[in-house]
Amino acid sequence: MKFDLNGMWLTLNRFCNFRCPWCYAESTNYNKNNDMPLQLAKDIIKLGANLGIKEVMLIGGEPTYYPNLFEVLDCISEHGMMSTLVTNGYRFSEPHFLKKIEESKLDSIGFSLKGGTAEQYAESTKVKDSYGKTKRAIKNLSTLEKIRVGYSVVLSTENLENLEEIAGLVASDPTNWLLLSFCCPTISNEAEVITEHMPTQLEVIQTIVDKLPALKRILNDQFIIEQAFPSCLWPKDILDDLIQSNKIRFGCHVQGRSGLIFDEKGKLIVCNSLPNFKIGQFGKDFTTVDEFNRLWDSEDINNLYKKFREYPVKKCVDCADNKNCSGGCPLHWLTYDAKKVLA
């Protein structure tokens, strides 16, 4: 089978200055000693380029604290790939760091927002001045010309009610876009399903529906919803409108089998919500393209990925909307009973 891998996530470190309670990185203890060795990062980037991957997303922890960030950006550029830095944005409040980024080979920034108010920011991140620094960073980034900047927020129980305030933060520059993504369960090493900060499917949909007119107005229509639920849970008229205006996305790289995630040790994981389930390791299970392809096309891995593409219930098979619906995030069904939700 031919697989089109078009993106790769590299976990450069585990340290972060924020302590957001819903973050998948929480279980890694934010250890400062858990940086990806520079040579390992370069070797994986080279493998990715040889696999035809076009875009590398740098994640953490907080990758702006990775000491070899600029060497990694050079390496990505040398291999003709695009780079995106997924960050909490805090360091862009520092003029010195901003200047270095501006002069680097970075292509785009994915700025992850944590809330909409000073109180909410302080409470979620456990950093007193995080809101002020975030506002300053957004202002600073509006001056960048070569680097594309996008804003995102993971909708959690902490920030769901503050969507307008979050939109207001982004809208301080009218060219900014906001991506709304949904909180997913995280699975611990003991296979415990953690959903502590995850609003229910219906809470998320109802909140978005209620706040949609305000979001459209504040953001001047510049937002995208990366939704993780079955289409049929949305009110049809709202969903049709969002599809028509290209404001909603379905599916993920796991279901499309189009992305690779490497942790800081070079272990290959399926999804960031499954940080403890490695399906292979660079340098041990594969180093070359041929070795990787043998693993990627092995019976075990093929069967595993099939399970991520399982229809939640039988009626989905014949549903007219299934081309727009991925059946929702495959991990949501660890929390919800598909037969009840989609009865």
Partner 1 sequence: MTVAVKKLNNLLDSRKLSGEILNSCPSRREMTNATSKSGDGYSICAGQCRCCNSIGGRCNCSSC
| Smallest gap from residue 199 Cβ to partner 1 (A) | 19
Tokens of 178: 């906001």
Helix (H) or strand (E) holding 249: strand 248-249
200-228 burial string, b = 16+ CB within 10 Å, else e? ebeebbeebeebbeebeebbeebbbbebb
**Cβ nearer to partner 1, comparing 99 with 315:** 315
Among 273, 268, 309, 274, CA closest to 292:
268
Check if the beta carbon of residue 17 is closer than 8 Å to that of residue 258.
no
Q: Does 322 bind partner 1 (CB under 8 A)?
A: yes
Binding of residue 250 to partner 1 (CB under 8 A): yes
Nearest one of 219, 232, 227, 238 to 169, comparing CA atoms: 219
Which of 27-35, 64-72, 129-137, 255-263 is the region at the interface with partner 1 (rule: CB under 8 A)? 255-263
144 binds partner 1 (CB under 8 A): no
- Which two three-digit tokens encode residue 165? 């305030």
If one asks whether residue 55 binds partner 1 (CB under 8 A), the answer comes out as: yes
Least distance (Å) from partner 1 to the CB of residue 309? 4
**Angstrom distance (rounded) from CA 222 to CA 205:** 19
Among 72, 81, 109, 225, binds partner 1 (CB under 8 A): 109
Query: How many chain residues touch partner 1 (CB under 8 A)?
Result: 70
Amino acid type, 204: V
For residues 301 and 269, give the distance between their C-alpha atoms in angstroms, rounded to a whole number. 11
- State which of residues 179, 183, 205, 215 lies at the interface with partner 1 (CB under 8 A): 179
Contacts of partner 1 in 4-43 (CB under 8 A): 4, 6-7
Compute the distance between CA of residue 294 and CA of residue 286 in angstroms, rounded to an integer: 9
Residue 19 CB, shortest distance to partner 1, in Å, is: 22
310 binds partner 1 (CB under 8 A): yes
Applying CB under 8 A, does 102 fall inside the site for partner 1?
A: no
Residue 143 contacts residue 95 (beta carbons within 8 Å): no
| Contacting range for partner 1; rule: CB under 8 A; set: 24-32, 90-98, 207-215, 273-281 | 273-281
Candidate residues 94, 165, 226, 291; the one interacting with partner 1 per rule CB under 8 A? 226
Q: Should residue 152 be labelled a site residue for partner 1 when binding is judged by CB under 8 A? A: yes
Q: Kindly tell me which residue out of 204, 270, 329, 341 binds partner 1, with binding defined by CB under 8 A.
A: 270
Report, in Å, the least distance between residue 308 CB and partner 1: 7
Q: Of 80, 143, 300, 340, which lies in the binding site for partner 1, with binding defined by CB under 8 A?
A: 300
* Rounded Cα gap, residues 280 and 19, in angstroms: 29
Question: Strand, helix or coil at 298?
Answer: coil
Residue of 273, 183, 163 lying closest to 228 (CA atoms): 183
Asked whether position 148 contacts partner 1 by CB under 8 A, the answer is yes
- The partner residues of 110 in beta bridges, in order of sequence, read 86, 150
Give φ, ψ of 74 to 5 degrees. Answer: -60, -45
Binding-site ranges for partner 1 (CB under 8 A) = 1-4, 6-7, 54-55, 57, 82, 84-86, 108-110, 148-152, 177-179, 181, 187, 191, 224, 226, 249-253, 255-259, 270, 274, 276-279, 300-301, 303-304, 306-314, 316-317, 322-324, 326-327, 330, 333-334, 338-339
